[in-house]
Amino acid sequence: MSGLNDRMKYEAFFFDFDGVLADSVEVKTKAFAKLFESYGLEIQSKVVEHHRKHGGLSRNEKFRHYYEKLLKKPLYDDEMEQLCNAFSLLVVDEVAASPEIPGAESFLKKWHKVLPCFVVSAAPEIELNEIINKRKLDRYFTDILGSFRSKKENLELLIDKYSFDPFKCIFFGDAESDYRAAKALRVNFIGILPGPDAPLLQVAQDIIWVRCFIDLNIEKFGIGIKERSVYDSSIIVR
């Protein structure tokens, strides 16, 4: 019974998708590279570099940035729609078939029976639901939210809708936008990161993070983990 009581200290878990539940970040990297290859290697390289550093931004935000800052030209609505459609065609099946972040489904299988779990992603909501359904993960989630809203807006919407105490929730993410959203709303944050060179650690050096869910023993945490100032080697992999 004590294990169940420990789990009940938490009210909800929120998950980003790409790079957190699915090892799919490079699928989208290749898609961005493909869509900008006609502009030459220099532009293509800058697109890829920006995408890797800003994984949590929506593709719409990225496309607009690439046009305005790199190509120095406006991006009209019809062009944006064409780019987004082309991107979806390149990524949906590959993301659906990509490997999981080790231990992700086992973690969801265990915890969704105890508390509500949610996806908060920058991917388009219809596409996100399609991918999650193809992976047969939909059974684990109470709600799945993607863009057109920001991650902060989606997180705030869920907290308000279900009357959660943010201090008793955890957001599992891999991008600066995940961390910023959690921090703004006083939600605890745990990074799911490939290693110490992850871009997020350049802007949030003191976060709690693990490489995968196999390395994560959530029962080791207490309520209010975001105020921890030291790492516990039994739960953190550096």
Residue showing tokens 């490079």? 26
Position 228 pLDDT exceeds 90:
no
Q: Please indicate, yes or no, whether residues 131 and 206 belong to a single structural domain of this protein.
A: yes
Instruction: CATH number of the domain at 127, please.
Output: 3.40.50.1000
Position 165 pLDDT exceeds 60:
yes
- List, as one string, the DSSP characters of 132-188: HHHTT-GGG-SEEEEETS-HHHHHHHHHHHHT--GGGEEEEESSHHHHHHHHHTT-E
Position 25 pLDDT exceeds 60:
yes
Q: Please indicate, yes or no, whether residues 7 and 125 belong to a single structural domain of this protein.
A: yes
Within-domain flag for 192: yes
Which of 97, 113, 133 is the C-terminal boundary of a domain? 97
Asked if residues 211 and 229 have their Cβ atoms less than 8 Å apart, the reply is no
Q: Please indicate, yes or no, whether residues 47 and 160 belong to a single structural domain of this protein.
A: no
Predicted structure pTM score: 0.86
Q: Please indicate, yes or no, whether residues 68 and 103 belong to a single structural domain of this protein.
A: no
Identify any residues that bridge with 145 across adjacent strands, giving them in sequence order: 120
Distance from C-alpha of 88 to C-alpha of 25, rounded to nearest angstrom: 14
Which of 54, 80, 97 is the C-terminal boundary of a domain? 97
Q: Please indicate, yes or no, whether residues 211 and 145 belong to a single structural domain of this protein.
A: yes
Q: What is the mean pLDDT of residues 182-198?
A: 96
Q: Please indicate, yes or no, whether residues 223 and 133 belong to a single structural domain of this protein.
A: yes
**Structure token digits, residue 88:** 């979806």
Q: Please indicate, yes or no, whether residues 47 and 106 belong to a single structural domain of this protein.
A: no
Q: Please indicate, yes or no, whether residues 57 and 138 belong to a single structural domain of this protein.
A: no
Position 17 pLDDT exceeds 70:
yes
91-114 pLDDT tens trace: 999 999 999 999 999 999 999 999
Q: Please indicate, yes or no, whether residues 110 and 162 belong to a single structural domain of this protein.
A: yes
Query: What's the pLDDT at 221?
Result: 64
Which of 67, 97, 127 is the C-terminal boundary of a domain? 97
* Structural domains in the chain (count): 2
Order of strands across the sheet with 188-192? 143-147, 117-124, 12-15, 169-173, 188-192, 208-210
Q: Please indicate, yes or no, whether residues 108 and 9 belong to a single structural domain of this protein.
A: yes
215 pLDDT band (50/70/90 cuts)? confident
DSSP state of 108: H
Q: Please indicate, yes or no, whether residues 147 and 59 belong to a single structural domain of this protein.
A: no
**Sequence letter at residue 108:** L
